[in-house]
Amino acid sequence: MPISVSIVEDNDNLRGTLAKVVGRTEGFRFVSDYASAEDALAGLPKARPDVVLMDINLPGMNGVECVRKLKALLPSTQVMMLTVYEDTENIFNALAAGANGYMLKRTPTKELIEAIREVHRGGSPMTAHIARLVVQSFQKPVAPAPASGGELAELSEREQQVLDLLAQGLIYKEIADKLNIGYETVHTYIRRIYEKLQVRTRTEAVAKFLQR
């Protein structure tokens, strides 16, 4: 039986290209495509594909949240993220939500097709760079020193709100939506938080916040 594939991608040109690649490859069957997470959640339970290629940065609901909801509806469907993001936060949010693989959009077509086969077989395909980040994340980091009262006091009220939401596990887009501010504004606040707390990662910042 051919591997049935659906695509969730808001870029019309890329979505069309991926559909053609899948449809023309022996052993594959393209079944549906969607430009938003909302459309995907409405259509995928009917299409019931073997594999879904999922973008992260979608209009409205993001791809990570879509994966979380989709896995509850179609637990046996394999979901492979196909995105431009290669930072540890997006990787782990996606994997924690239920994604089975994580590939980058710049992946050559031949490798992408093989990754779809791999995820269909029950594997967890990732580019070498992504796999390296995953391995490094499991290497025990040096525990950050507890934040002093002075360090936390230097944070503005809004920075403390952002840090509190980070500690709750929200991703940047969710923080932006929660506080009704722009995505880039969240990045700016987080950069300032890192500087004031003298940390370099989300994990270190949250650890200092919780040790206060």
**Torsion over CA: 11, 16, 19, 21 (sign):** negative
Q: Determine the pLDDT at residue 116.
A: 96
For tokens 């989709």, name the residue: 70
Helices (H), 48-182: 63-73, 88-97, 109-120, 128-137, 149-153, 157-167, 172-179
Task: For 121-142, write each residue's pLDDT tens digit.
Answer: 988 888 777 777 766 666 545 4
> Where do the structural domains in the chain lie, given as residue ranges?
3-137, 149-210
Measured distance CA(130)–CA(121) in Å, rounded: 20
Tens-place pLDDT, residues 41-55: 999 999 999 999 999
Residue 113 predicted with pLDDT over 80 = yes
Highest mean pLDDT among 22-26, 124-128, 178-182: 22-26
- For residues 210 and 212, give the distance between their C-alpha atoms in angstroms, rounded to a whole number: 6
197-206 long-range contacts, CB within 8 A, separation 24+: 197/147, 197/151, 197/152, 197/155, 198/151, 199/144, 201/141, 202/89, 202/166, 203/141, 204/141, 204/144, 205/163, 205/166, 206/163, 206/166, 206/167
How confident is the prediction for the chain on average, in pLDDT? Answer: 86
Please give the DSSP secondary-structure letter assigned to residue 89.
Answer: H
The pLDDT-based confidence of 10 (bands split at 50, 70, 90) is very high
Q: How many angstroms separate the CA atoms of 152 and 165, rounded?
A: 15
Using CA atoms, how far apart are residues 153 and 116, in angstroms rounded to an integer?
A: 49
- On whether the 149-210 domain is CATH 1.10.10.10, my answer is yes
The CATH class, in words, for 3-137 is alpha beta
